[in-house]
Structure 1
Amino acid sequence: MPHLQVIEKTAHQAAAPEITEAEGQAMARATVNLFSRWRVSDSQACILLGGLSPRTWARWKGGDIGRIPRDLKARLSNLMGIHKALRIIFTDTDRVYGWVRRENAAFGGASALDVMLGGELTDIMRVRRYLDSIRGG
């Protein structure tokens, strides 16, 4: 039995820390600004945010975030990770915000935005993993 306890403790330690509601709301506000800089349309924003309703997205843009479910917090966290990686990789602001729309050989000629618009959390994670590998993180 002691072996089982060690495994459980290790698995718990490896789990990502839970994102608080305040952190989720801060990331949501940052995402509204980020999507504006990325020139993401309202319909694209709803896809990137896991099928968020247009009404809820409109409320977010107006500053009324509300409660954020765990899976949406994961999307927001990965989007913030993408932004962070781009800010580390590029010093030029135009490149930081324009990169997501540019064709990329790593994605078979598609843009990172095209990949992320697949709609799945794994699509966003794919872009983040790529950028993290480029920046060495």
Structure 2
Amino acid sequence: MISKEKSMSEYSLKEVSSVALSAFWNIMDQWGVESEHQISLIGIKTDLSSDDLKEMNVSSLSSEMVARISLVLKIYKYLEILLPNREQSRVWINKSNDAFGGETALMVILADNENGLLTVAEYLNSQFQMPNTALDKKMQKEYILILILEWVDSTEDALNWYKSEVPPALGMTPLQAVECGEYRNVLKYIEHISLGGYA
């Protein structure tokens, strides 16, 4: 059974590895974010360049920085699922979008940092709920794992839940449900639990 113990933004600093920090800088480069905006986005007030900051140790991150990195990684993962072509993802983040009043997603993010990140993450998350969003079973699995990672300590725990847990509401494992075409029932179950419901 799942227990919603903590969200990504509440992870301890030790749980955010140097790999995640490195991924953040790589994503910034892929999105074409200028050096000064990279520093602002991660929440660092310093005269150092982003190149200098890429050498920083994970232990020097504050909880707010961890939250921002987590949101950037989540947005990147959402785009990776919705737009598997990396170039499409890069174009989307820099393309004018009616959902953001004609601004680009990157403009929204940079204008309000953490709140902007939340706005874009929530918008992308809503796309998975749209009836006309076509996801193959692999993409469905990846999205479910993103949701479950909010509640567990590792990708391994999320995978174990996906493959082995049998929620009474589903009567089968989430893996079996997805294979049987019951993907949306898995989403409904996860939403039910996230709102404080019983399994």
TM-score category, normalised to shorter length: 0.7 to 0.9
Deviations 1:51-110 (A, max 9, x none): 44241633233x333411001000000000000000000122211122111000000000
Structure 2 letter corresponding to 1:59: D
Q: Within 1, Cα distance between the matches of 2:36 and 2:82?
A: 28
Contact 1:85 1:135 in 2 (8 A): no
Contact 1:29 1:60 in 2 (8 A): no
Q: Greater RCO between the two (CA within 8 Å, min separation 6)? A: 1
Unaligned runs of 5+ in 1: 1-11
Is it true that 1:60 corresponds to 2:47 in the alignment? no
Is it true that 1:69 corresponds to 2:62 in the alignment? yes
Q: Within 2, Cα distance between the matches of 1:81 and 1:24?
A: 15
Q: Within 1, Cα distance between the matches of 2:69 and 2:35?
A: 16
Q: Between Structure 1 and Structure 2, which shows a larger proportion of helix residues? A: 1
Distance change (3 Å), C-alpha of 1:23 and 1:15: closer
After TM superposition, list the pairs within 5 Å mapping 1:1-137 onto structure 2: 13-16=4-7, 18-21=11-14, 23-55=16-48, 57-61=50-54, 63-66=55-58, 67-136=60-129
When normalised by structure 2's length, the TM-score is 0.56
Considering only aligned residues, what root-mean-square deviation do their CA atoms show, in Å? 2.2
Larger Rg: 2
Residue in structure 2 matched with residue 3 of structure 1 by the alignment: none
Give the length in aligned residue pairs.
125
Q: What's the CA shift for 1:14?
A: 4.6
Distance change (3 Å), C-alpha of 1:43 and 1:130: same
Q: Within 1, Cα distance between the matches of 2:94 and 2:12?
A: 28
Q: Within 1, Cα distance between the matches of 2:47 and 2:79?
A: 27
Unaligned runs of 5+ in 2: 130-142, 144-199
Deviations 1:113-137 (A, max 9, x none): 1001123311111000001111236
When normalised by structure 1's length, the TM-score is 0.79
Structure 2 counterpart SS, 1:103: coil
Distance change (3 Å), C-alpha of 1:35 and 1:108: same
Structure 1 stretches (4+) deviating beyond 6 angstroms?
Answer: none
